[in-house]
Amino acid sequence: MNRTTNFLKKPSFSLCFSYPFSHSATQPVHSVYDLSTCIASLQACARYKSLRRGKQIHACMLTNGFLCSPQSITSLINMYSKCNQMGDAVSTFYYKFHDHNVFAYNAVIAGFTANGLARNGFEFYKRMRLAGVVPDKFTFPCAIRACCGVVEVLKVHALVVKLGLELDVYVGSALVNTYLKFVLVEEAQKVFEELPSRDVVLWNAMVNGFAQIGRFDEALVVFRIMGEEGVVPSRFTVTGVLSIFAMTGDFDNGRAVHGFALKLGYDSHFEVSNALIDMYGKCKFTEDALDIFEMMIDKDIYSWNSIIAVHEQCGYHDETLKLLYRMLGAGVLPDLVTITIVVPACSHLAALMYGREIHGYMIKNEIGKDVNKEDVNDVQMTNAIMDMYTKCGSMRNAYMVFDKMKNKDVASWNIMIMGYGMHGNANEALDMFSRMCEAQIEVDEVTFVGVLSTCSHAGLVSEGRELLRQMKSKYGVIPTIEHYTCVVDMLGRAGHVEEAFELVQNMPIQANPVVWRALLAACRLHRNSDIAKVAAQKLMELDPGHSGNYVLTSNIFVDIGQYEEVSEVRHTMRQHNIKKAPGCSWTELKDGVHAFINGDRAHPKANFIYAELDSLTARLREHGYVPQL
């Protein structure tokens, strides 16, 4: 059953709170018999999100009959809401107390809105109206932000006017922000202009509202006018403006705002520091982002997620995992955002051991489940885990994840097809494709990249030809350059170099460097120098800066003994200052992922490693191995 519905039903209170208490755990609480002290303690639990202590106080209040007071009910609802326990908050709302006042309704609506359950919050607002409870100025900001459609916000706005609350700055700010969320710019500006008192909260609603819908120029104009009006920006203004420069990659203006934040003393706040990390990271200034992070005295989950995301976005996958383990060492537990960031790092590094640990943590802590649905995996997150297993070569684990998925989308099938094909399991890949079609899952371009790539690596030429022919007529998918590249590669690997060359010349899409490179690689494999010269010439015209073109061409000429051409290719390479990227490999050990670059001796155990390599090479030579130089 959908938990959205469960939240709004009157659940059994005794079931929600039937948990054991040890004498020692509850003794300090039961010694407190004053209602006002209990309420003050609940407020502290809400502030510090101390759920366990809050439940102990709740048990004490049950024992001593303190739940007859509207104030105690409201305090409990607020505590559970702040601890992200909305089921318990609603149970408390309905516990032996039928004369619900506006404060209790406000607490539940605010809780749903703060926990990202807007639809539930608005449904509770409608229930409040049906019960005849009149909303107040504290109800409307949350109810307005909970609106999921234009009609809803227009109706709420009409009631605001009817009750004479349209000039309240907090209600106005919520209206401005929500109207902008639905891209109703004229309505937002009208509300803004009609308010006689415009404080920084209202200006922030305009700046951040425009920023969130991608209208960055309007947001910056409002920010400029705000300064001209003499309104001092708050730290939330700064975070909003920094988010704009992060999205646009405007490092210079972002750095200027950083200086502005330093001047106002906002740099010590979590929100500003996190926004600065994000801005520097998206502008590719990783060291600056790391400097901000290291200077933070206290780091919350958002700080860790920001700096981890910065490193992953910049391709520093090993650093991403190191930061994850620093985070765990600091006692900060990963959330769904953290997992979403670090799983791709495991995929890129083929770090199976770490990937398994992360997957186990997800299962144990039920991370990746949709909070609005009962026992239904989040498809996108599950796909990421499955992709990680395929990239790490663990197809058994990948299939176990796939098999347990209740809701498989096209990406789920594609990942499995790609994985099987990548690791040489052609029969399994094609069987997965057949099952996908039988399940009436609509195949897409990615599906055919997977199956054609499988045919290429397995040498299934006739099957690949037939799939290309049927793509449009049978499956309704128009072949793209990626599909033709797979087929050219397939024909080239199988020795049909002339047919591959003919396809490149006659296909309806202009060949790109990747296609020509696939053909050139086939020419080297089968020593076809005539077609190789044509392919090499095309590559030099289309992509003169790619080192791989020169290396492939040079190797072909070496293989056929044309050393003058080899010297010419290398001379051209030097003239254009093109250098071959050094080879890189890595291995996963218990203490982390170790990366090795060709010729690099920066590893702390380099001497030991090279000594072992020399010993291994010597033993191979004893058995007749001759290195190909």
* 39 inside domain: yes
Percentage of the chain beyond pLDDT 70 is: 92
Q: What's the pLDDT tens digit per position in 122-174? A: 999 999 999 999 999 999 999 999 999 999 999 999 999 999 999 999 999 99
Q: Does residue 375 have a pLDDT over 70? A: no
Structural domain boundaries enclosing 6? 1-134
Task: Please report whether residue 114 resides in a domain.
Answer: yes
Helix 86-94 to helix 102-114 angle, to the nearest 10 degrees? Answer: 170
Within-domain flag for 592: no
623 within domain boundaries? no
- Average pLDDT value for residue range 291-314: 94
The verdict on residue 115 lying in a domain is yes
Domain-embedded: residue 189: no
At a CB cut-off of 8 Å and minimum separation 6, what does 158 contact? Answer: none
| Helix runs in 296-425, H state only | 301-313, 317-329, 336-349, 352-365, 379-391, 395-404, 410-422
Determine the number of helices (DSSP H) and then strands (DSSP E) in the chain: 36, 2
d(CA 471, CA 517): 24
Domain count, the chain: 1
What CA–CA distances, in Å, run from 142 to 109, 114, 117, 168, 566? 7, 8, 11, 14, 72
> Which band of pLDDT confidence, cut at 50, 70 and 90, is reported for residue 34?
confident
Q: Is residue 569 part of a domain?
A: no
> Residue 368 has what pLDDT?
66
The two tokens of residue 104 are 């209790």
Q: What is the DSSP string of 216-242?
A: HHHHHHHHHHHHHTTPPP-HHHHHHHH
pLDDT at residue 7, rounded to an integer: 44
pLDDT tens per residue, range 528-579 = 888 988 998 898 888 888 887 778 888 887 877 777 777 887 877 787 777 7
Is 94 within the bounds of a domain? yes
